[in-house]
């Protein structure tokens, strides 16, 4: 198994890790607030801007000394060399022998790649499809224009397109886009209940075209349409497929002219820029989809060329490394103060945790240190009325990313000002907290007895000193969103280089799929009275028997 990143000479890394550990130990729990008094330059020292995204990381538990050592870590890990390898098309996904070229889908920093030709061809076909659907030229079996599009896909073939489509709601054209991912029949049934078969277009999105959930849902869609159209009608205009497995899509029954290829050098969770982004392009129109890709392309340029200390993805990664490996953070909150970005945390969960949730290094040896934190979050201000309690008073500090546009697409009275001020207030409350003395003073000012003050005050203490950063920008436009997503994609890559792991495979998801097939086959046998030959653990057996018994009860009714 050839690994192009083996050429990185990271021999001095252990010494830099050691130095970081010493700094962290000497620092202890850094009083972040005090750093602002000590260093009047702190804001400018720890704020950077690129592609219209302003990153203020002055509220993280870093000092000029630890920051210099962190930059040294990125440099000693040869991050710039790894970036060059990725962008030039080296097969850095070495466990699958694949290149990692999602950047080539959005212009690419390396225009001479042979893959760019393929990208251009497919984009031309996609633009034609999007325009014909939006203009009502491609029609369904009744000759009526499509009004609704259902994307059937899961994981990377769902989360990115669904998140972006919702994020860009203000740019929507006239077609409604729906997403069905779960094999739970309720997802498909609930979606179809709102739709007219004659005017519904389905996109079957699956890189492999072997994913159980997607194939089951695609079959259900075929049945639903056929039942409505009658068997003599051709349904070919109702189906489009996106896949790197064109033969399988054709075998399924999709017309070859309606199959849009992607390639094994695009990872599923990095694929929204490929034909997998088709539902986005139909939702917002081709020009806006292009803008999304251009914003990402601009972030690629920044990533490839900015010095480490000004490089936004590198900075996000180093803050993650510091928080996880030196301060012991086990989770990371993402808090977009933009309702349209409410699916961003779910998207970042797959991007981050499927990429870096790994325990061995590139050569298969145990990492020996923590890797990816648990990523979670929700749109503000909703999260404030739910889990922010834990952020403020829980026993584990959770570094938080606040993401906030300064302008709304929907000016409505003073609501956007309230939204942004809440974002500012949360970051400030996390940092400053409330001391026991302040809590006691507030209570006695409110007229509580001394006894009540003593009893209540500890419950009202917020320790503060909890790290956060802010990414602020003008407005959630396609271009800005493209840059934001690419920022996080590259952050994940930088962390993987520093941890020394492969961010682009996902072997951990396979075992559950295999066992699922074994259990399903066993159920089929037992249902048809054939004695089962597989023996599972008692807990699985108990559930399996419960399922069969409940089917018998249902059948008897």
Ligand X SMILES: O=P(O)(O)OC[C@H]1O[C@](O)(CO)[C@@H](O)[C@@H]1O
Of 10 and 222, the one with the shorter C-beta distance to ligand X is 222
User: Which of 6, 507 has the CB closer to ligand X?
Assistant: 507
What is the length of the chain? Answer: 557
Question: Which C-beta is closer to ligand X: that of 291 or that of 506?
Answer: 506
Residue 80 · residue 313 · CB < 8 Å? no
Q: Give least dist CB 538 to ligand X, A.
A: 28
Shortest distance, position 124 Cβ to ligand X, whole Å: 23
CB of residue 464 to ligand X, shortest distance in Å: 39
What are the DSSP calls for 495-556, one per residue?
A: HHHHHT--TT--GGGHHHHHHHHHHHHHHHHHHTTPPP-----HHHHHHHHHHHHHHHHHHH
Helix axes 185-192, 212-229, angle to 10 degrees: 30
b/e per residue 398-431 (b: at least 16 CB within 10 A): bbbbbbbbeebeeeeeeebeebbeebeebbebbb
Mapping DSSP onto H, E and C, the string for 148-206 reads EEEEECCHHHCHHHHHHHHHCHHHCCCCEEEEECCCCHHHHHHHHCCCCHHHEEEEEEC
Q: How far is CA 311 from CA 224, 308, 317, 440, 494, in A?
A: 50, 5, 10, 44, 11
Catalytic residues: 354, 385, 513
Inter-CA distances, 137 with 143, 144, 172, 242, 419, Å:
9, 9, 19, 20, 42
Which H/E stretch holds residue 261? strand 259-261
Nearest to 20 by CA among 318, 308, 372: 318
Q: Which tokens hold the place of 124?
A: 């031309």
Least separation, in Å, of the C-beta of 216 and ligand X?
A: 12
Give min distance, CB of 159 to ligand X, in A.
Answer: 8
Q: Rule CB under 6 A: which residues touch ligand X? A: 154-157, 206-208, 211, 214, 268-269, 354, 506, 509
Nearest approach in angstroms of CB 211 to ligand X is 3
Rounded to whole angstroms, the Cα distance separating 330 from 357 reads: 12
Q: Is 554 exposed, middle or buried (0-12, 13-18, 19+ CB in 10 A)?
A: exposed
Minimum CB–partner distance for residue 509 and ligand X (Å): 4
């Amino acid at each position: 198994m050839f690994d192009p990143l083996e050429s990185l000479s990271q021999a001095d890394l252990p010494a830099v890790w050691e130095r970081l550990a010493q700094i962290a130990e000497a620092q202890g729990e850094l009083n972040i607030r005090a750093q602002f008094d000590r260093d009047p330059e702190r804001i400018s020292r720890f704020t950077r801007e690129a592609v219209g995204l302003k990153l203020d990381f002055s509220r993280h538990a870093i000092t000029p000394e630890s920051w210099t050592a962190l930059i040294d870590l990125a440099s000693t890990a040869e991050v710039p060399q790894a970036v060059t390898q990725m962008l030039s098309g080296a097969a850095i996904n070495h466990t699958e022998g694949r290149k990692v070229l999602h950047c080539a889908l959005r212009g690419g920093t390396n225009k001479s790649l042979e893959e760019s030709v393929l990208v251009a061809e497919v984009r031309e076909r996609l633009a034609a499809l999007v325009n014909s659907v939006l203009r009502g030229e491609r029609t369904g079996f009744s000759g009526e224009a499509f009004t609704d599009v259902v994307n059937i896909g899961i994981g990377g073939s769902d989360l990115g397109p669904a998140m972006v489509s919702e994020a860009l709601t203000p740019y929507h054209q006239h077609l409604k886009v729906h997403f069905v991912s779960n094999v739970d029949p309720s997802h498909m049934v609930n979606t179809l209940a709102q739709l007219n078969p004659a005017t519904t277009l389905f996109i079957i999105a699956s890189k492999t075209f072997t994913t159980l959930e997607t194939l089951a849902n695609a079959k259900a869609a075929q049945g639903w349409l056929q039942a409505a159209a009658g068997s003599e009608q051709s349904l070919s205009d109702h189906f489009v497929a996106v896949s790197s497995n064109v033969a399988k899509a054709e075998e399924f029954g999709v017309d070859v002219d309606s199959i849009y290829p992607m390639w094994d050098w695009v990872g599923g969770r990095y694929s929204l820029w490929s034909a997998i982004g088709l539902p986005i392009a139909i939702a917002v129109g081709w020009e806006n989809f292009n803008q999304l890709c251009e914003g990402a392309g601009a972030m690629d340029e920044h990533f490839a060329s900015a010095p480490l200390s000004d490089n936004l993805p590198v900075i996000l990664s180093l803050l993650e490394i510091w928080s996880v490996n030196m301060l012991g953070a086990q989770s990371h909150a993402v808090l977009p103060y933009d309702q349209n970005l409410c699916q961003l945390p779910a998207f970042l969960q797959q991007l981050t945790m499927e990429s870096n949730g790994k325990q061995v290094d590139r050569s298969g040896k145990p990492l020996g240190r923590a890797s990816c934190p648990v990523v979670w979050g929700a749109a503000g201000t909703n999260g404030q009325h739910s889990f922010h309690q834990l952020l403020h008073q829980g026993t584990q500090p959770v570094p938080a990313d606040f993401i906030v546009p300064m302008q709304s697409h929907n000016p409505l009275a003073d609501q956007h000002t309230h939204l942004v001020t809440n974002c500012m207030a949360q970051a400030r409350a996390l940092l400053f907290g409330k001391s026991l003395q302040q809590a006691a003073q507030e209570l006695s000012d409110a007229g509580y007895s001394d006894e009540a003050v003593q009893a209540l005050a500890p419950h009202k203490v917020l320790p503060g000193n909890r790290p956060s950063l802010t990414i602020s920008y003008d407005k959630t436009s396609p271009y800005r969103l493209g840059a934001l997503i690419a920022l996080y994609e590259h952050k994940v890559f930088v962390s993987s280089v520093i941890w020394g792991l492969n961010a682009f495979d996902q072997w951990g998801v396979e075992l559950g799929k295999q066992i699922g097939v074994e259990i399903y086959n066993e159920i089929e046998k037992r249902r048809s009275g054939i004695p089962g030959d597989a023996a599972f653990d008692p807990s699985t057996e108990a559930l399996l028997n419960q399922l069969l018994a409940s089917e018998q009860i249902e059948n008897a009714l």
